[in-house]
Chains A and B, each alone.
Chain A
Amino acid sequence: MTALSIWRWVVRRLLLAFLVVCGMTILTFVLIHAAPGDPIYVLAGDGGTPSYYADMRAKYGLDRSVADQFVRYANAVGRADFGYSFMYQAPVTRVLGQHAPASLLLGVTALLIATVGGVGIGILTASRPHGVLDRVVRNVNVVAFSAPVFWTGQILIIVVAVQLRLLPAGGITSARDDLTGIAFVVDVARHLVLPAITLAMPFMAVVSGVSRAAVVDALSEPYILAASARGVPRRVLIWKHAAAIAAVPIVALVGEHAASVVAGGALTEALFGWPGLGYLVLHASLHRDYPLVTASFIVISSSVVLANAVTDLLCARLDPRIMLA
């Protein structure tokens, strides 16, 4: 592929990304404003007089029409000003900045667990299709994929945290202590295990299924059969040759889901009291914190679009047959 065509592809993707993010922003803005419920009551408390609520609405600009509010919001966003969170009484960018690291940590860990675990299990099961391990894994996968995260998470909490007392039930660090240095890192890691496994489980099931299918497919390619006929050990065939071909669908799958795993952990975060973006979006939506909800969705949709673009590039690199278009 020529340098020129790469640039054309990049420009086209950027343009597309911009349109998608704009569309998401408008959609979020309209939907959250259309949801019944007035943020002023959450913001200002109950038992007030009509004049009090009118004053407060004016103070937050909520007395303007939705169209007017949108134009003002779009203008502000154009100047990289994402507004002011009602709930936190702080700039939205600051609030997002406070919650993003926890989400990244949880999401990336879950993604790693799901990818490494899923690919490993996929290859193992592919090496003996329809064997005992394969059948057990397939059944477990059905459960892991279909079980809702709040169920999986609660089972883990009850068994691992409450009964066995191996790991903490929730939060990101121990509330009782003020740890620093290596003790702090260990503490965070201990808190990370259960939510990361909970978030990783359904995706790990998908990854292992896809990996298994891809490896099984690859193993039936003529050149692998030829290599096998020449006496190349099966172990080498699977781990070296087949795994390389199988990498494309796996990378495509992981890339496609990466951003949504990182950003989509709302239920897991809420269950474990994990202070990330997912929890923030949930909380902000319930409180009708318009600026915070809209900005969160801008961040989430941007990262999905970005992750997809990176995935396409990676796939094109891994398999020269794939054309960027």
Chain B
Amino acid sequence: MPIIEVWATIRPVRAFNSAILATALIVIAACRQNREIAQPVTLVVSLTGDPGPLNPAVTTSGNTHPVTDQIFNGLVGLDESLQPVPELAESWRIEDSGRVYRFVLRKDVSWHDGRAFTSADVKFTFEEALLKYHSRTRAALTDLVSAIETPGPHEVVFRLKRPYGPLLQRLDVVEASIIPKHAFVGEDLLSGAPTRRPIGTGPFKFVSYAPADRVVLEKNASYFRRGLPGVDRLVFRIMPNAATSVAALEQGEIDYVGSVAGPDLERLRHTQGIAVVAGSGGSGGSICQDVLIPNLSRPPLGDVRVRRAIMAALDRPFVVDRVYFGQGRPATGPISHLLAWAYTPDVRQYPHDTAVAERWLDEAGLRRARGGERFAVTFTHANTQQRFAQAVREQLKGVGVTVNLQTLDFNAAVDRVFVKKDFDLGMASYCNGADPDIGVRRVYVSSNIGPLPFSNGAGYHNDRVDRLFDEAAELVDRESRRARYAQIQRILADEVPYFWIIDSEGLRAHRTAFEGFRLWTGALAETVHVTGQSR
């Protein structure tokens, strides 16, 4: 009732009134919800599949890391602009123009079982786990690292065979979680006891795991970041169906969902007590781009003129709007605009123009036949991408290109496109990661053409691009690296080895009773707290 009175007494400008009313409602809603939060404070996060063994140093699984990233730490963390910040390492020095990285570790960190964290844990984690089993870290660092030294219990030195700029971006909890050496003595890294009862240094301690049901964690009261975490219990509820998790969110059984299906968006946006927020990072890969992959070894997509025409024929704003429900922005090149320091829009652009596309196709010698068709291609895609595939088929039909759809389950599609290479057009979501060297390089360098998932699927080969990627990796100075990546983006936008569709920015939703979600990093829940309660 007080709101009505306020409404009645202040009535100068209508918009102003609405703003006040909205604020008042939000405050009231928030207060009401805060009252609903019982002690101890439990945060429930939905998870789409079983995490399996809980050892983050041997897997890149998008179901394992959301859980383990709350239990473990990296040497460094990443801030919102993906710059390294101290975590287990309190400081570091880069020497010998990027050949030596010297870390000083925090002295006040202990494992959840009470043992002290030391440099021996770091050395063990890299040598026995990350460099052997973590697919991305092993691929990137095995040939690079010549030695990992531990001059003291709180000092670690990485010696590299050549200078390497983006090392720090590879040392966060997602790419390089540090695991306890003492717990793994005599235990198998993939299946030993500590993978079922993980011991970390992180904000939450493991309590229990019921397969297909839930993982329960509790607050680590002696976490080295005093005052964190802000909730007492953290429960991951395993919910394979996205629509059901959204229903559970609306009902209040779940507090956070990591993805929202397009059709649920409008409803959720107008649901009181729920906030829909955009985020581009997290445990499952950060700053991703969805791209169409042409098989460059097959005509006619091997012809750059044809690829440019197709780029112009694709109405990407329409796709972003209608297929992705606005969860991102049309991509302009190989680096997402969300990786802001490395991105440049100053490249050849392909605005949607079917007339131009038709002219370019004519010029490439692919004239319309009597039925109106120029040529036909098969688009191999996963069953989760059917709406996108249909949009592509319709748009290319407009310029005389027939697209035959081949819908497979996800693993089968990956197998056909990347391993068997039996496709004309494929599709993938490539994640740029915290640095172009992590997730962009692998898509374009010729050394990564091979029967491997999410490698250089198009089979693109350009010596100059290869060289520029190498140079950019060996530089530490960001300005010089930026210049190399700008050059790379210009070359690639000219040659169109892939059709970049969208710089994804996935939407997540959480109950407004909680705030402080860290959406760009794996450590999602570290700073979450009940709304209004400052830490």
Q: Which residues of A contact B (CB under 8 A)?
A: 35-38, 41-42, 44-50, 52-53, 56, 87-90, 95, 98-99, 102, 154, 157-158, 161-162, 165, 168-178, 270-276, 279-280, 282-283, 286-288
Contact = CB atoms under 8 A, between A and B. Distances in A.
B355 interface: no
Contact of B240 (A35, A45, A172, A283): A283
Interface string B30-70: 00000000100010100001101100000111000000000
Contact of A157 (B44, B247, B254): B247
A99 B133 CA distance: 29
A42 B451 CA distance: 15
A106 to B, nearest CB: 12
B482 interface: no
Contact of B244 (A42, A87, A273): A273
Contact of A175 (B50, B190, B237, B247): B237
Given A89-B191, A158-B247, A272-B244, A37 B135 contact: no
A307 B47 CA distance: 35
B442 A37 contact: no
B253 A168 contact: yes
5 contacts: A45-B134, A161-B248, A169-B244, A172-B213, A273-B240
Interface footprint category on B: 35 or more
A46 B135 contact: yes
B138 A169 contact: no
Contact of A36 (B142, B253, B415): B415
B444 interface: no
Given A90-B191, A175-B235, A276-B212, A170 B412 contact: no
A52 B49 contact: no
B52 A88 contact: yes
Given A44-B59, A280-B212, A271 B254 contact: no
B136 A279 contact: no
A48 B452 contact: yes
B376 interface: no
Contacts of B254: 175
B205 to A, nearest CB: 15
Closest 5 interchain pairs by CB?
A37-B411, A275-B212, A45-B60, A48-B135, A89-B191
Contact of A45 (B136, B243, B244, B415): B136
A157 B135 contact: no
Contacts of B248: 161, 168-171
B340 interface: no
A176 B419 contact: no
B22 interface: no
B271 to A, nearest CB: 10
B414 A41 contact: yes
A88 B244 contact: no
A46 B253 contact: no
A171 B213 contact: yes
Interface string B386-411: 00000000000000000000001111
B464 to A, nearest CB: 24
Given A41-B453, A47-B139, A275-B210, A288 B411 contact: yes
Nearest to B271: A162
Chief secondary structure at chain A's binding surface: loop
B211 A95 contact: yes
B243 A154 contact: yes
Contacts of A90: 191, 196
Interface of B: 38, 42, 44, 49-50, 52-53, 59-61, 133-136, 138-139, 142, 190-191, 195-196, 210-214, 216, 235, 237-241, 243-245, 247-248, 250-251, 253-254, 408-412, 414-416, 419-420, 442, 450-454
A38 B419 contact: yes
Contact of A273 (B61, B133, B241, B250): B241
Contacts of B133: 44, 56
A162 B250 contact: yes
A158 to B, nearest CB: 7
A169 B415 contact: no
A123 to B, nearest CB: 35
Contact of A176 (B235, B411, B451): B235
A94 to B, nearest CB: 10
Given A41-B414, A44-B135, A175-B235, A36 B61 contact: no
Q: Which of A46, A53, A287 has the largest count of B CB atoms less than 10 A from its CB?
A: A46
A58 B142 CA distance: 20
A35 B415 CA distance: 10
A171 B239 contact: yes
Contact of B60 (A46, A50, A158): A46
A88 B136 contact: no
B260 to A, nearest CB: 15
A175 B408 CA distance: 34
A153 to B, nearest CB: 8
Contacts of B191: 89-90
A279 B50 CA distance: 11
A316 B13 CA distance: 84
B240 A169 contact: no
B251 A38 contact: no
A176 B253 contact: yes
A45 B190 contact: no
A283 B49 contact: yes
Contacts of B212: 98-99, 102, 273-276, 279-280, 283
Given A88-B53, A275-B213, A283-B50, A49 B239 contact: no
Given A168-B253, A169-B253, A46 B247 contact: no
Contacts of A279: 212, 240
